[in-house]
Amino acid sequence: MTTTDTMAPALPRVVAEHAQHLFIDGRWIESASSTQLEVINPATEAPVTSIVLGDVADVDAAVAAARRAFQAFSETSVDERIALLESIISRYEARIDEIAAAVTLEMGAPISVARARQAPAGLGHFKTTLAALKSFAFEETLDNTTLRYEPIGVAGLITPWNWPLNQTALKVAPALAVGCTVVLKPSEIAPLSAVVFTSILEEAGVPGGVFNLVQGDGPTVGAALAEHPDIDMISFTGSNRAGADIARRAADTFKRVSQEMGGKSANIVLDDADLEAVLMRDVAKMYVNSGQSCNAGTRILVPRDRMDEAAAIAKGYVDKLVVGPPEDDATNVGPLVSQAQFDKVQGLIESGIKDGATLVTGGAGRPEGLDTGYYVKATIFADATNDMQIAQEEIFGPVLTLIGYEDEDDAIAIANASDYGLAGMVSSGDQERARRVARRMRTGMVHINGASANPAAPFGGYKKSGNGREGGEHGMREFLEVKSLFGDVS
Q: In this predicted structure, what is the pLDDT of residue 195? A: 98
Element (H, E) at 52: strand 46-52
Residue 4 has pLDDT above 60, yes or no: no
Q: What is the pLDDT of residues 255-298, one digit of tens each?
A: 999 999 999 999 999 999 999 999 999 999 999 999 999 999 99
Residue 140 has pLDDT above 70, yes or no: yes
Over residues 140-159, the mean pLDDT reads 97
294 is catalytic: yes
Alpha-carbon distance of 218 to 234, in angstroms, equals 13
Question: In this structure, are strands 256-260 and 233-237 parallel, antiparallel, or unpaired?
Answer: parallel
Residue 6 has pLDDT above 80, yes or no: no
By the 8 A CB rule, do 73 and 55 touch?
Answer: no
Residue 5 has pLDDT above 60, yes or no: no
Q: In this predicted structure, what is the pLDDT of residue 9? A: 84
Q: What is the pLDDT of residues 8-35, one digit of tens each?
A: 788 999 999 999 999 999 999 999 999 9
CA torsion angle for 270, 271, 274, 277 (degrees, to 10)?
A: 50
Q: In this predicted structure, what is the pLDDT of residue 489? A: 78
Alpha-carbon distance of 470 to 454, in angstroms, equals 12
Q: What is the pLDDT of residues 374-415, one digit of tens each?
A: 999 999 999 999 999 999 999 999 999 999 999 999 999 999
Q: What is the pLDDT of residues 86-101, one digit of tens each?
A: 999 999 999 999 999 9
CB neighbourhood size of 10 (10 A): 12
Catalytic residue among 106, 260, 394, 473: 260
180 is catalytic: no
Alpha-carbon distance of 434 to 448, in angstroms, equals 6
* Strands in 179-323 per DSSP E: 181-185, 211-213, 233-237, 256-260, 266-269, 299-303
Residue 179 has pLDDT above 60, yes or no: yes
Calculate Rg over the CA atoms of the chain.
23
- Percent of the chain at pLDDT > 70 equals 98
Q: For residue 182, what pLDDT band results from cuts at 50, 70 and 90?
A: very high
Read off the pTM: 0.96
**Structural domains in the chain, sorted by start:** 13-261+466-485 (3.40.605.10), 266-455 (3.40.309.10)
Distances in Å between the alpha carbon of 390 and those of 20, 72, 173, 398? 39, 51, 35, 12
DSSP-assigned states of every residue in 142-181 = ETTEEEEEEE--EEEEE--SSSHHHHHHHHHHHHHHHT-E
Residue 3 has pLDDT above 80, yes or no: no
Q: What is the pLDDT of residues 357-376, one digit of tens each?
A: 999 999 999 999 999 999 99
Q: What is the pLDDT of residues 424-483, one digit of tens each?
A: 999 999 999 999 999 999 999 999 999 999 999 999 999 999 999 999 999 999 999 999
Q: In this predicted structure, what is the pLDDT of residue 8? A: 76
By the 8 A CB rule, do 268 and 425 touch?
Answer: yes
Q: What is the pLDDT of residues 332-347, one digit of tens each?
A: 999 999 999 999 999 9
By the 8 A CB rule, do 32 and 216 touch?
Answer: no
Residue 144 has pLDDT above 90, yes or no: yes
Alpha-carbon distance of 417 to 280, in angstroms, equals 25
By the 8 A CB rule, do 77 and 95 touch?
Answer: no
Q: In this predicted structure, what is the pLDDT of residue 419? A: 97
By the 8 A CB rule, do 223 and 195 touch?
Answer: no
By the 8 A CB rule, do 211 and 85 touch?
Answer: no
Average pLDDT score, the chain? 97
By the 8 A CB rule, do 215 and 32 touch?
Answer: no
> In Å, how far from its chain's centre is CA 85?
21
Catalytic residue among 294, 327, 470, 478: 294
Q: For residue 72, what pLDDT band results from cuts at 50, 70 and 90?
A: very high
By the 8 A CB rule, do 242 and 172 touch?
Answer: no
Q: In this predicted structure, what is the pLDDT of residue 241? A: 94
CB neighbourhood size of 462 (10 A): 18
